[in-house]
């Protein structure tokens, strides 16, 4: 037989596993806020948690006290205790106290709701469009469009207008802000701000099809100077291939009509169905974050997109490995 003390280990083991999982670094977590919006939202959650802990302690404490104090231990000679019914004082108490607790919660909730809904004057405008299965980021005031990675300057509010090109998605970058639905034919707005530079992972948070769980993105928060440099590079991108291989790749790109779906600023490719590829060589992720951006991964992607991301619109062009290499050389040369 298992010794008694060891039986305690069974429930303890999963609890310890959960606890230790909480010690890892979680960049994609609403519990590690990296800006005022996420901080405000976390504070509301923490306030509500403390209220609940308080209520639990008081209620469980009274229940335990009553249980211990008034248990019949056979020393009452079979007599029933005093039978009481109704108590105006108690009923008032347990009506008024919850109302007060709700007021403590509702006042900051309403205040923050209005703060978070307000467009931030002087903020950077980014139009976000959800697609099956990638995110489009348009900067209307800067004349830039990109995909997968949203660059923003630190210390400046970013006003987002969020919509969808097909089904309902949900834009969520937990360390910067709560989620917002991307609904076709409708624009939702929100704002966020990154206090310090870094790359904050995001994720589509609404089931939207086969590759919903693969619909990642990244928010790259940079110092204002670095952001300005990125904007310049996107406005005046390097698109002319230098190597023979990359030149072949450009020919293939045109031959296969890739420009019917993809845009590359400064070239004849002006399609809008698929992700904008301007400056692709500078991105850290491709295919909505399923793959990191390396030549080998890009070749894997081009070799069979639906094999990497089920349900993706981009077809398999049955490219041979020489063609893949050439296209990779061209695309990774876009800066």
**d(C-alpha 177, C-alpha 175), whole Å:** 6
Handedness of CA 34, 35, 41, 46 (dihedral sign): positive
DSSP state of 316: P
Is residue 288 part of the contact set for ligand CUA (CB under 6 A)?
no
Please, which residue, 202 or 279, has the CB nearer to ligand CUA?
A: 202
Please, which residue, 145 or 169, has the CB nearer to ligand CUA?
A: 169
Shortest separation between residue 254's beta carbon and ligand CUA, angstroms: 31
DSSP characters for 197-250?
A: -EEEEEEE-S--STTGGG-EEEEEEE-HHHHHHHHHHHHS------SHHHHHHH
Please, which residue, 138 or 206, has the CB nearer to ligand CUA?
A: 206
Applying the rule CB under 6 A, the residues between 136 and 175 that interact with ligand CUA are 169
Is residue 208 part of the contact set for ligand CUA (CB under 6 A)?
yes
**d(C-alpha 226, C-alpha 247), whole Å:** 30
From residue 93 to residue 132, the character string flagging contacts with ligand CUA as x (rule: CB under 6 A) and all else as - is: -------------------------------------x--
Applying the rule CB under 6 A, the residues between 212 and 241 that interact with ligand CUA are 212, 215
What Rg do the C-alpha atoms of the chain give, in angstroms? 28
Is residue 289 part of the contact set for ligand CUA (CB under 6 A)?
no
Window contacting ligand CUA (CB under 6 A); options: 120-128, 202-210, 216-224, 254-262:
202-210
Is residue 204 part of the contact set for ligand CUA (CB under 6 A)?
yes
Nearest to 55 by CA among 101, 107, 113: 101
DSSP characters for 27-66?
A: SS-TTS--SHHHHHHHHHHHHHHHHHHHHHHHHHHHHHHH
Is residue 308 part of the contact set for ligand CUA (CB under 6 A)?
no
Contact residues: ligand CUA, CB under 6 A: 130, 133, 169, 204, 206-208, 212, 215
């Amino acid at each position: 037989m298992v010794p008694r003390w060891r039986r305690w280990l069974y429930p303890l083991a999963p609890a310890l596993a959960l606890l230790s999982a909480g010690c890892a670094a979680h960049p994609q977590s609403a519990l590690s806020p990296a800006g005022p919006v996420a901080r405000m939202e976390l504070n509301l959650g923490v306030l509500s948690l403390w209220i609940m802990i308080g209520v639990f302690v008081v209620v469980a404490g009274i229940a335990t006290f009553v249980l211990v104090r008034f248990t019949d231990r056979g020393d009452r000679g079979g007599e029933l205790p005093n039978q009481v019914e109704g108590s105006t004082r108690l009923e008032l108490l347990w009506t008024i106290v919850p109302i007060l607790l709700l007021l403590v919660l509702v006042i900051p909730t309403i205040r923050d709701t209005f703060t978070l809904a307000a467009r931030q004057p002087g903020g950077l405008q980014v139009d976000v469009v959800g697609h099956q299965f990638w995110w489009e980021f348009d900067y209307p005031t800067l004349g830039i469009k990109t995909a997968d990675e949203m660059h923003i300057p630190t210390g400046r509010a970013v006003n987002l207008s969020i919509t969808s090109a097909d089904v309902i998605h949900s834009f969520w970058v937990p360390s910067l802000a709560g989620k917002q639905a991307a609904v076709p034919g409708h624009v939702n707005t929100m704002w966020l701000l990154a206090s310090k530079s870094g790359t904050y992972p995001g994720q589509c948070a609404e089931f939207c099809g086969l590759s919903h769980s693969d619909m990642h993105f990244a928010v790259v928060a940079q110092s204002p100077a670095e952001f300005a440099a990125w904007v310049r590079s996107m406005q005046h991108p390097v698109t002319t291939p230098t190597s023979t291989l990359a030149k072949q790749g450009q020919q293939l790109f045109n031959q296969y009509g890739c420009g019917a779906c993809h845009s590359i600023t400064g070239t004849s490719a002006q399609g809008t169905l698929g992700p904008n590829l301007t400056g692709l060589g500078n991105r850290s992720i491709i295919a909505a974050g399923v793959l990191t951006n390396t030549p080998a991964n890009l070749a894997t992607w081009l070799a069979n997109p639906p094999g990497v991301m089920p349900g993706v619109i981009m077809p398999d062009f049955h490219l041979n490995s020489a063609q893949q290499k050439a296209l990779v050389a061209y695309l990774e040369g876009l800066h």
